[in-house]
Structures are given as C-alpha cells and as structure tokens.
Structure 1
Amino acid sequence: MARATTTAATPGPVPELAARPHPRPWVRAAGLVAVVLLGAWLGLLVVGNVRVPVGPMNTTMTLRPSLTGGTKINVSPLGALELQSHHAPVRLDVNVDQLDPDRAQALVDHPERLSGLQQEVAHDVEQGTLDLAVRSCAAVVVGATALGLAVYRRPRPALGAGGLALTLLVTSGGTAYATWNPDSVLEPRFSGLLSSAPSLVGNARSIVTEFDVYQQELARLVTNVTKLYDVTSTLPAYQPDPSTIRVLHVSDIHLNPASWKIIGSLVRQYQVNVIVDSGDTMDHGTAAENGFLDPIEDLGAPYVWVRGNHDSLATQKYLQGLKNVTVLDDGKAKTVAGLRFAGIGDPQYTPDRDKKPGADASEELAGARLASALRDQTAAGTPADVAIAHEPSAAREVDGTVPLALAGHLHHEDMEVMKYGTRLRTEGSTGGSGLRAVEGKHPDPIQASILYFDRGTRRLQAWDQIELGGLGLTTAEVSRHLPKENQPGATPSPTPSPTAR
C-alpha cells in the first residue's frame, strides 16, 4: 500500500520585534538628567527640610534648586530679605515660623545676653545646616531613585539616577562652600513690607558692626544707674519726704530692651509711686513687637501710658490687657497713686516717619479735645493734676486748663511755663532713640526724669533730670530743678484757670 506523505510548509522569515530604533545616547543622557533633577526636586520638596531653633526664633530650613544660589529669609507676613551668600545651583530658604516666647522673654529680661547672641545664632545655624545636609542627601537619593524606578522599571538605571543626584548635590554643596560670602549679611535686599527696613533702622553695615558695642555700653549704663541715688543726696534746696509722690517720666523708648532695666532700677532707687510714659514705646507698632511690653508688669510701679505716633491701636489694646497699666486716650482723668492723670493718644500713626499733610492740624485738634475734657472735669469738681500727650504741639493746647503737661517725641528734654500758666515738661528718649542711636556721629543719651509732687496740693515741687551717656559713653548725670515759685523767698504762682483762655 502506498503511504501518503505530507510535507509541512516551511515558514518564511519572522520580522524582527526590535525593529524600533534605539534612542541616541544624548537623548538617553538628557532623559536621565531630567529624571535626576525632577526626582531630586520632588525629594527635597517632600522631606528635605528641617525645623531649627535659631536664637529666639523657630525656623524651617530648606534647600531649593536655583540658578543664582544665595539665601532667602522669609519673615511672614512682613516680607523677605535675600543675601548673596553663595553661588551654586541650590538656594537656602529660611522661613521664620514664629518667635519663641520663652527665649524672647529671656533676652528681654537679660539684655546683656545680646552680646553673645551672635555666637548662639551661628551655632544654631551650623547645627541646622548639618542636619539639613544629611536630610537633603537622603531626600535627593530617594526621590531620584524612586522616579528612576518608575520611569525605567529596572533597578540599575534607577540606582544610577540616585547616585547621580547625590553627586550633583555634593558638588553643589562644595561650590556653595567655596563661594561662601559671610559679608553678604551687610548688604541684604529687602522685599515686601521689609523693603522700608533700611530707611527705618539705618545703614545695615553701621548697625551690624556697631551694635555689639552699643549693647555692651547699654549694659554698663545699668550699672551706672546704681550710682544716681548717691549723687542726689548732695543736691540742695528740696528734700522730698516719705509723703511725697514720686513720678518717673519716660518717653520714646523705641524698642530698646535695656530701658526696662534702667526704669526698674530708677523705680527701686527713687521709690517711684507711678511711671508715666508719653509714647513711642514701640518702633513700628506691629503685633510681633507686643511681647516687648510684657516686662512693664514687673517694673514695681503702676504704669500710665499714652499712644505715640509709632504706637498702633494694636499696641494700645495689648497694653490695656496688662496688669498695672492705665491707658489714657479719651481725655478722661484717672487717679493713679494719688494723682489725677488725663491724656490723649497721638492721632498720627507714622511708623515710616513720613511727614503727612495735615499732621500739625490733627495734633492741635487732639490737644483741643483734651483741653475741652479737662475744662469739663474742672467744672464738675474733679480737676486733673497732669495732662499727657505725645506731641508737644498737642500738649500746648491744654495751657491754662491744668498745672502740668507732659510730652515727648522730640528726643530731647525741655521745660517751659506757657502763656496761661501751665508748665510743659518734654522728656527726652529713654531708649536713646533705639537702634538709630548707632547711626549718627554723636550718640543719643538716655534720658528720664523724677517728678516730685506734694501729696496735699498735688503740685509739682521739684524734678531731677537724669541723663545716661549713649554709645561709647558711660557717664551718669543728675541735676535737680525747682520751679521759681518753690525757690526760697519766692511767691507761689496762681493756679492756672480753665477760663483764662
């Protein structure tokens, strides 16, 4: 039987599956670089930051890709300042999250610690930078490796992406270290509300280089204050007795933390019954400054205050919440330590120190309102003993309605008896003009006064004018003054009449 056979057809050639063209090397390299950069950036964005306490502040430090490098310090909501600290493809971002109340209070309570603040901040920044470097290395490696694994789906190129990311970061860090410019802090660039900072605090270079000396001198001035009471024992003509009401008049502190130590020392040495502050306790009136006011509660005497042109309504509200503080604003008299004080807040709020149109007129209108309130209280049988306004131009409007008016604003002391018999006492700056004391060629002195009142008549009997030397000076002077009517053989002058005008 013949056997049938079948022959299978031989298949033709199979087309190549790998017919797709391989990408060129430069395309592969560009893709790898893109994966590395994107993965590293995502890693830094997710986990590449550290929270670091720097001095009295809590901050967050982060590295960010950048074409110009440098350091950016964000102080929300005031704005930011930028430093040309280094040239590298990474920028250091420092966000000031908040002011730690305990550490800030410690600086207020011990201003002498400001002299060591530079070393403390440098140490904090160094530790934070080391922590940030370690965390950033881990972040870029993990980010680049994870993205490389998602793109290439193979471990070898993914690990290559992570290694390349680490190499780029280390190289960038080395470049930043090699180009580090510590003097960049002397030439910052401000933005936002901080853009006015150079005009507010003066030349940054002069303040940075002289502030350490300035703080040391202020601390030494506190020691000089302890000698003041001995000096007054040699002053003739008027000897206050235990019944005398002693008023400490201060003004224009302008955020100088050393002022609280000086005021506290004067309160103890002169056995002060009440402190009168005629305004400009702050410098910009922002809520961030409010913690500066807390030591007022522990000065050892009641505190009577009126708003200055550098004090905001927010400042006033904060003070109203402190114990032992009496805020005067509507002209109504309040009795503190046996004296009736009436005052009005400054109508101008000018933290930028601009001279706005109508400023003089508004001051006079405020003074006129205060004078009207004083006349009403006199007619009601409850006259005020002392009127307080920040601007002397406002205080002049009360002439004839009260025996004594107190003011500040001018940063130098003055005393005059006005046309209708009211004595106007203008205080100097108890803060030595604040930070601006280091700007000028001649330092501004720290000034305050002790006013002595007879408890029975509630009239001014004498005053001690106190002056401490400013930057570079460690002098302390006290001079006693008596009104003409209190000098031996003088005839007392008549009480100012509210109807004299």
Structure 2
Amino acid sequence: MDITPWTQRLRRFATGRAVRALTVVIVAAGGAWLGIALGGAVHANVGPVEVGMSAEPSWSGETVVDAHPLGTLLFDTHNAPIGLRITLENINTARAGVLLEDPRFSDQLPALLEKELREGVRTLVLRAALCGLAGALLTSLIVFRRPGPALAGLLSATVMIAGTGAAALLTFRPNAVVEPKYTGLLAGAPSLVGDAESIVTRFESYRAQLAKLVNNVSQLYDAVSALPVYDSDPESIRVLHVSDIHLSPIAWNLMHSVTKQFKVDAIVDTGDLTDHGTGPEDRFVEEIGSFDVPYVFVRGNHDSKATQRAVDKQKNAVVLDDSVKSVAGLRIYGLGDPRFTPDKTVDVDSDPASLTALGRAHAMRLGQAFKPVDLVAVHDPSIAREFSGTAPMILSGHTHARSTELLPSGTRLLVQGSTGGAGLRALEHDEPTPVAASVLYFDRKTHRLRAWDDITLGGLGEQSVQIERHVETDPGRTISPGPTSVPSPTGSLSGTTSP
C-alpha cells in the first residue's frame, strides 16, 4: 500500500497548523501592543510634579525620564523588550508651595516620592496588562471572527505579557538610578555650517551658542539631579579635568560654565593647550587668570617650554613638571610630556618603548622622592600607565577620545577627550570631534574618587549635549605598587606624527 499521500497530507496538516498558530501569535502580539499604546498610559503625582507614565516597545529595556524640550534622563534599569517612559507634564504649584514652606514636609519628601512613584508604576503595570489583553482579544476577534482563535490569541498574549513582566522583574537593576545618561538639545539653535563663513566667524558664532547651551543644560542638570549625588555634598572636592584644548576658544566657555554650575574647586589640564607652542599663542593662555580656582597644568607634546613658562605667569596657575603640589586639599603630581612634536628640526623619540621606560623611571622617582600622592597628571596615556600603583587616580589626554580603565594595581586611569573639539582641526573632517570634559568628585576626608560626570558636547555645528554619571564601585580599594602589564591603548607612536 502506498503511504506517500498520507505522509503528504500529514505534512500539509502540520504545516497548516503551525502557520495558523504563528498567525494567531503575531495578531495577538500586535493587538496587545496596540491596546497598551492606546490605553495603557497613566497619570500620577510624584511629589510636586505631575507625570505621565507609559510602556513602549524597547529592545534595550531602558527607563526614560522625558523633560521635553530640554532633554531626557536614561536609566539602564532592566533587560526586557519593554521600556518605561516618564514624562514631566506639569508642576503642581499647590504642592510645591507646601514643600517650600513646610520643613516637615520637605523631610518626608524622599519617602513620599518613592511611595508615589511605586504606586504609579504599579498602576501602569496593571493597566497596561489589562489593555494589552483586551487589545489582543479584540484584534483576534476582528481578524479571525471565531471564538476559538480569539481565545488562543488571548492565551498567547497572556503568556507574552507574563513572560515580559517576569524578565523585567528578574533583570531589574535598582542601582541603575545612580548612573543616568543625560541627553539634550538646545531648541531652535541655528545651523553653523555654511561655505561662505570664515573659520573665525564660525568659531565665534559657535562659541556664543555653546555658552548658552552649557549654561542651560548645567542648570537643568543641577535642578533635576535628585540622585544620591555629589554636586551638593560638602564633603566632596570637585575637580574639572580638561585636555587637548588646541587653541580652541570654545573650551573657555565650557570651562567657565561648568566651573560655576558644578561649583568646581580646581581644574586639571593634561596638556596640548596650544597647537604649535609659539610666542603669539602665549596670548591664548591669559584666559587662565580669569578663573577663580587653581588651574593645574602639565605640558603636552604640542606645548613648548615657553608655553609652560607663559602658563606659570598666570594668576592661579599651578605648573607641574616632575613635581608635587597640594591643590584644593589633594596632593597632585604632574609630569610634562618629554616631546615637542611641532618642531620638525629636532628628532623626537616617540617610540612606545622609550615612552614607557621614561614613565617607569619617573614613577620610581615619585615613590622614592615624594610622599604619597592622591592624583597623577600626565599627558600621554602610554607614559601615564607606568604610574600604575603610585596613586589611586591618574589623569591623561592626548588621544582625543575619552576612556577609563581600572588597572590591575587598583589605580584608575581616566583618558580625557579633546576639550577644544580638536581645535581648528574640527573643520578638517566631516565628523566633528566632540567637546569633552569631566567633573570628578573626591571624598574630602579620604581623598578617594567617589564619582565622576562625563560631559560631552557635539562638535562644531552640533548643539547636542550629554552628561553621564559614573559611580566608583569600590573607592576604598587597596592600591598595590608596581607597573601594570596591560598594553598601552594608544598604539604606535613612531615618528613625529601625533594628535
């Protein structure tokens, strides 16, 4: 007896059922999302603020606090295909007045915020689940017009919603609220790209726009930062780390704004303040005297010894070159870069082995000739890395790309990007170099890093800004003396070519 027709019929039957089942699941998923989108949002009072809460598809599973049009706060709170969006809609003036006038209410505010936020999220979850199930059922009835497939769609939606909720709950990270990413855009900022504009005009226009941008964003950040933050902690020493300004006037605007808004106690510049280290460029460094806080400077490979002397003449300037100074309560060691690459008449030894050997020799001298220090400032990361174990924190620059690394010794190395957006070189490339700086928060008693804010602004012609907070997980860790064996991240430095 030939069984081939029966096999084909069975295969067609199984294939047809699989396709129908998959269709039911897809229709139910679409209906569930439609129901959540149309009816899942809720409104709640969280302290003096009226907020809207909604669930939305999200592969990253993040929580977004939307303060449109000023910007957003993003928290990496969970791993599930659903995100939570909280929109600040209005200020409840009556509640805000009570908060300002009644100190007892102010003391109760943190607990009240947590309670009301939790209640709002609980209401959102329940409402979104019910709307999702209703959407799946109604969509299945409309598409299939039979109760059987409709109930199957409802069951599929129940499984999907329950699974998504379980994934969000199991992967929930409450500590994510202390490390937000802030993004913002200055509304109505004019475009600065135009063929008819000169370099000077473009930079001056961008400088003015940048000053407004940084002030607005810094004020917003200071106002909404209701985290366990360090910006109002009297027990913190705040250090602004800048590097590779390269004669860019926009850097001064950024530094003045951040110094004021973040109440910075000292500035550390890890070099390449100028581009060619010439006499006319010395006028540029005179802006240092306008700061009301100490300005610590270490020479970069684009800064000449004459540049270093010009900086040293400025008010509040602290020049470090194989020397240690106490600044704002921190003992800081600084080493100028051994090279001066703009001078093409002199051979410059940029061999990685030579740089690491120089760094190792100075690190040994630091351990023998000076008392323990809290912070080391060096321009090139390949030299800076050899100071691993001599201090809890090392600052450097040179690469025009920000990065941080916890070295095996326990020392943290922070490589800063270009605070000047790479200077005039920003006009040489299609993609502008971001303007980068960081605010570091040190404990006033232990002198250890507790947290830092990375501030990144879009390069020339881009008015975007991002402030991202990082918290040091083990500020009291033991620092073990000795160089690290990890290879340098800067790569080959052969010849005289340099950032």
Q: Which AA in structure 2 matches 1:407?
A: S
Deviation for aligned residue 1:355: 9.5
Tell me the TM-score normalized by structure 2: 0.54
- What is the aligned partner in structure 2 of residue 236 from structure 1? 227
Deviation for aligned residue 1:460: 0.4
Are 1:278 and 1:307, in contact at CA under 8 Å, matched by a contact in 2?
yes
SS of alignment partner, residue 485 of structure 1: coil
Pair 1:220 & 2:192 matched:
no
In the alignment, which of 435, 446, 454 is matched to residue 457 of structure 1? 446
SS of alignment partner, residue 244 of structure 2: coil
Unaligned runs of 5+ in 1: 1-204, 487-491
| Distance in 1 (alpha carbons) for counterparts of 2:483 and 2:277 | 38
Unaligned runs of 5+ in 2: 1-193, 486-499
In the alignment, which of 280, 293, 296 is matched to residue 285 of structure 2? 293
- What is the aligned partner in structure 1 of residue 249 from structure 2? 257
| Distance in 2 (alpha carbons) for counterparts of 1:439 and 1:500 | 36
What does 1:67-466 align with in structure 2 at a 5 Å threshold? 209=198, 212-226=201-215, 227-232=217-222, 233-234=224-225, 236-240=227-231, 241-330=233-322, 332-351=323-342, 356-377=348-369, 382-466=371-455
| Distance in 2 (alpha carbons) for counterparts of 1:465 and 1:308 | 22
SS of alignment partner, residue 474 of structure 2: helix
- Identity across aligned pairs (percent)? 43
Q: Which AA in structure 2 matches 1:497?
A: P
Deviation for aligned residue 1:497: 3.5
SS of alignment partner, residue 285 of structure 1: coil
| Distance in 2 (alpha carbons) for counterparts of 1:259 and 1:230 | 20
| Distance in 1 (alpha carbons) for counterparts of 2:289 and 2:275 | 20
| Distance in 2 (alpha carbons) for counterparts of 1:338 and 1:411 | 29
SS of alignment partner, residue 484 of structure 1: coil
Are 1:211 and 1:438, in contact at CA under 8 Å, matched by a contact in 2?
no
Mean Cα deviation higher: 299-308 or 346-355: 346-355
Q: Which AA in structure 1 matches 2:238?
A: R
Deviation for aligned residue 1:315: 0.6
Deviation for aligned residue 1:323: 2.1
Are 2:230 and 2:441, in contact at CA under 8 Å, matched by a contact in 1?
no
Change over 3 Å in CA distance of 1:335–1:352 after alignment to 2: same
Are 2:203 and 2:250, in contact at CA under 8 Å, matched by a contact in 1?
no
Change over 3 Å in CA distance of 1:377–1:468 after alignment to 2: same
Are 1:344 and 1:366, in contact at CA under 8 Å, matched by a contact in 2?
no
- What is the aligned partner in structure 1 of residue 480 from structure 2? 496
Are 1:229 and 1:270, in contact at CA under 8 Å, matched by a contact in 2?
no
Q: Which AA in structure 2 matches 1:228?
A: S
Deviation for aligned residue 1:377: 4.7
| Distance in 2 (alpha carbons) for counterparts of 1:384 and 1:463 | 19
Q: Which AA in structure 1 matches 2:465?
A: A
Deviation for aligned residue 1:217: 2.4
* RMSD value, Cα: 2.5
Deviation for aligned residue 1:309: 0.3
| Distance in 1 (alpha carbons) for counterparts of 2:412 and 2:196 | 38
Deviation for aligned residue 1:210: 5.7
Mean Cα deviation higher: 220-229 or 272-281: 220-229
| Distance in 1 (alpha carbons) for counterparts of 2:307 and 2:383 | 21
Are 1:251 and 1:428, in contact at CA under 8 Å, matched by a contact in 2?
yes
| Distance in 2 (alpha carbons) for counterparts of 1:222 and 1:483 | 30
| Distance in 2 (alpha carbons) for counterparts of 1:404 and 1:307 | 19
Deviation beyond 2 Å, 4+ runs, structure 1: 205-215, 232-240, 352-363, 495-501
Deviation for aligned residue 1:325: 0.8
Are 1:253 and 1:432, in contact at CA under 8 Å, matched by a contact in 2?
yes
| Distance in 2 (alpha carbons) for counterparts of 1:245 and 1:359 | 37
SS of alignment partner, residue 481 of structure 2: coil
SS of alignment partner, residue 406 of structure 1: strand
Change over 3 Å in CA distance of 1:359–1:460 after alignment to 2: same
Deviation for aligned residue 1:209: 4.9
Tell me the TM-score normalized by structure 1: 0.54
Are 1:284 and 1:310, in contact at CA under 8 Å, matched by a contact in 2?
yes
| Distance in 2 (alpha carbons) for counterparts of 1:373 and 1:455 | 27
Are 1:217 and 1:470, in contact at CA under 8 Å, matched by a contact in 2?
no
Deviation for aligned residue 1:269: 0.8
Are 2:210 and 2:253, in contact at CA under 8 Å, matched by a contact in 1?
no
Mean Cα deviation higher: 365-374 or 440-449: 365-374
Give CA-to-partner distance per residue, 1:371-423, whole Å, 9 cap, x none: 12321256xxx211000110000000001111000000011110001121110
Change over 3 Å in CA distance of 1:437–1:352 after alignment to 2: farther
Are 1:207 and 1:438, in contact at CA under 8 Å, matched by a contact in 2?
no
- What is the aligned partner in structure 1 of residue 43 from structure 2? none
| Distance in 1 (alpha carbons) for counterparts of 2:378 and 2:226 | 30
- What is the aligned partner in structure 2 of residue 102 from structure 1? none
Deviation for aligned residue 1:243: 2.7
Give CA-to-partner distance per residue, 1:295-339, whole Å, 9 cap, x none: 101112100000000000011111122221111112x32101100
| Distance in 1 (alpha carbons) for counterparts of 2:267 and 2:446 | 20
Are 1:214 and 1:472, in contact at CA under 8 Å, matched by a contact in 2?
no
| Distance in 2 (alpha carbons) for counterparts of 1:499 and 1:257 | 37
